[in-house]
Amino acid sequence: MSRRLRSDRPPIGILVLAGLAVVFFALPFAGLLWRAPWSDLVDVVREDAVRRALWLSIQTSVLATLVAIVIGVPLAWVLARVDFPFRNFVRALATLSMVLPPVVGGVALFFSFGRRGLFGQYLYDWFGIRLPFTTAGVVLAQSFVAMPFLVLTVESAFRQFDVRYEDAARSLGARRWYAFRHITIPSIRPAIIAGVVLAWARALGEFGATITFAGNLPGTTQTMPLATYIALESDPGAALILSIVLIVVSFGVLIGLRDRWLGNPHEVTRS
Largest Cα span, the chain: 78
CB 120, min distance to other proteins, A: 9
Among 76, 139, 152, 179, binds other proteins (CB under 8 A): 179
- The type of residue at 210 is T
- The type of residue at 196 is V
**String of contacts with other proteins for each residue 132-151, x by CB under 8 A:** xx------------------
Measured CA to CA in angstroms, residue 120 lies from 114, 115, 124, 131 at distances of 5, 5, 6, 8
- Return the number of the residue (183 or 193) whose C-beta is nearest other proteins: 183
CB 116, min distance to other proteins, A: 4
Please choose, out of 94-102, 159-167, 198-206, 246-254, the segment that lies near other proteins by the rule CB under 8 A.
159-167
At residue 31, φ and ψ (nearest 5 deg) are -60, -40
* Residue 174 found at the interface with other proteins (CB under 8 A): yes
DSSP for 92-104, written as a single string: HHHHHHHHS-HHH
Residue 263 C-alpha from the chain's centroid: 19
* Residue 125 found at the interface with other proteins (CB under 8 A): no
Helices (H), the chain: 2-8, 12-35, 41-46, 48-81, 87-99, 102-113, 120-127, 135-160, 164-171, 176-179, 185-187, 189-205, 208-209, 224-234, 236-255
* Residue 237 found at the interface with other proteins (CB under 8 A): no
* Residue 234 found at the interface with other proteins (CB under 8 A): yes
**String of contacts with other proteins for each residue 67-106, x by CB under 8 A:** ----------------------------------------
Residue 191 C-alpha from the chain's centroid: 13
* Residue 39 found at the interface with other proteins (CB under 8 A): no
Given the rule CB under 8 A, which residues bind other proteins? 110, 114-116, 132-133, 162, 164-165, 167-176, 178-179, 182-183, 186-187, 189, 211, 215-218, 220-222, 230, 232-236, 267-271
